[in-house]
Amino acid sequence: MPNHRSPQLDATLTQAVKSLIKVAPVFIAADASVGDAAREMQRARIGSVLVATEPPGIVTDRDLRGRVLATNLGPETPVTKVMTRPVKTIDSGTLAFTALRLMVDENIHHLPVVEEGKIVGVISSTDLLFHQTNNPVYLRGLIDKFDEPAALGSYASAIAALAGMLFQNGLGALQIAQIVSSLNDALVKRLVQLAEKVLGTPPALYAWIVFGSEGRLEQTLLTDQDNALVFDDASDESRAYFAALSKRVVDGLIQGGFPPCTGGFMAVDWCKPLSEWRQLFDQWIRLPEPRALLDAAIFFDFRGVAGGLSLESLQEIIAPAKDQRRFLTHMLNDAVAFRPPLGFFNRLRARDGKIDIKMGGIAPIVALARIMALSAGSRERSTMERLALARNTDALLNRESARALGEIFPFFLRLRLRAQLAARDNKQPLDHQIDLAELSEFERRHMRDAFVIIKRIQEDLRAAWRLDRLS
C-alpha cells in the first residue's frame, strides 16, 4: 500500500494538546455583542473567542453563521445569547488523539485547554487534522446534517479513506477504531432521529444496542451489522412501531455500507421488549447449550447507542455469571476451540500462503478477554480493558498472560487493517487473510511467537479448568 505519511500529522496526534496552542486565549466581556465577537476573531485571525462569564462561555465562527446570520439576528445581539456554556475542556497534558475523539463525540470544532484550572488556550479540529474531507470532525458534521438515507452512499468509502489516512500517519488500529465507532454511533443516532420523524413519537422508551466489534469499540472498516433493539413495553402497538423503526435504521445502515449480518444478528430479527431480553439473558447463563453460548458470546458485548431506556436490569443479570462455574467452563471451552494456525514444531500453517488472523489470533484473544470480564463481574467492553483486569490476583488469566495478550492484540489488529486497506486500494474483497509474503521477516517471526503464546495460554487454561472432561 502506498505510504504518504505526513511527519507533521505524526507529531500532531501523538503529542500533548498544550503543544498545539498557537496563541493565548482571547476573551471578550460578558456584555459584548456578537459584532464585537466577530471583530475580535477577525483581528486575532482565530475561529473562536471565549466569553468572560462564570463559568466561561465560547462563541465560534460556526455560531456566528448558524445562530446569528441564519436566524436574522443583528450585530448588536448580546454574545451571551448565542454562546455555548459551559464549555467542554481538556487537560493540557492529554494526547491530541483524545482531543480529536472528544471533538467527534461532541461534534465540536474548538476545545479550550485547561492547566491547573485555568484556560491556557484553544485548539481547533484543523490544528489536529489539515485535510478537511478526511477530518473526522468534518465527517461528523455531515452525518448530523443529512436528511435522507440515500445520501449515505459514500459513507463506507469516507470511513475507509479516513482510516487509511489515520493509519498511514501513525495512529494505531485501536485508536482508529474508537474514532470510527464514534462516527458510526452518530450515524445510528441520526438514522433513529429520521425514523422517529417519519413514524412519530415512540410509544415507549427504547434502546438501540450494538455488539461484536462495534460494541467493543474495535471496528475499523465497516463490517456486518450487529445490532438489536430493546423496548420497555410488550404491547402490540410497541411491537409494530419498533419493528418499523428497526427496519428503517437497518436499511439506512445498509445504504451506508454496513452489509447485512449473515447470521441474522440485526434489529429486524432481534427487536424485543425488555422483559423478553431479561428472560433470554437469564436462560443463556443457566442453560449453557451450544446455541445459548453463541448468543451469549455475541450479545454480552452489547453497548447502548441510541434511545433513553436504561439497560441496567440486563447488566444485573450478567453480573452473577461470575459465580456460574458451569456457564464459565463452557464459555471457556468454546474460547480455546479457536486454534492458532500452528503445525508440527509450532511452524506457521498457511493455506495458499495466507493465514486467517481473525479465527487464529484475534477471536481467541477476544473470547478469553470476554470470559475474564464475566468471571470478574466487570462491565468492561473493550478487549484491552478486559485484559487489564489481570491486575486482580483472582482473575482468570495471570498478569503475565494477560500482558502478553495485550501486546499481541494491537499487533494483530494492525496487520489486519493494513491488509484490508491494501485490498481496498486494489479493489479486492475485504477479509481477514494475511499474506505471509507481504510480511517482513520480523513480522512473520513475531506472528509465530504470538500464536505460540496464545496456544500455551489455551493449553494452561484447558488443564486448569479440566476442559477435556467436558462431553
Sorted by where each begins, the domain ranges of the chain are 7-130, 133-318, 324-469
Residues 6+ apart with CB under 8 A from 459: none
Buried b (16+ CB within 10 A) or exposed e, 9-41: beebbeebbbebbeeebbebeeebbbebbbebb
User: Is the domain defined by 324-469 classed in CATH 1.20.120?
Assistant: yes
* pTM of the shown model: 0.87
Cis omega before residue 25 (within 30°)? no
Q: Encode the chain (471 residues) as per-residue pLDDT tens digits.
A: 334 343 334 446 778 999 989 899 999 999 999 999 999 999 999 999 999 999 999 999 999 999 999 999 999 999 999 999 999 999 999 998 899 999 999 999 999 999 999 999 999 988 887 555 568 988 898 899 899 888 888 899 999 999 998 898 788 999 999 999 999 999 999 999 999 999 999 999 999 999 999 999 999 998 899 999 999 999 999 999 999 999 999 999 999 999 999 999 999 999 999 999 999 999 999 999 999 999 999 999 999 999 999 999 999 999 999 999 999 999 999 999 999 999 999 999 999 999 999 999 999 999 999 999 999 999 999 999 999 998 776 778 999 999 999 999 999 999 999 999 999 999 999 999 999 999 999 999 999 999 999 999 999 999 999 999 885
What CATH number does domain 7-130 carry, 3.30.70.260, 3.40.50.620, 3.10.580.10, 3.40.718.10? 3.10.580.10
Please give the CATH superfamily to which domain 133-318 belongs.
Beta Polymerase, domain 2 (3.30.460.10)
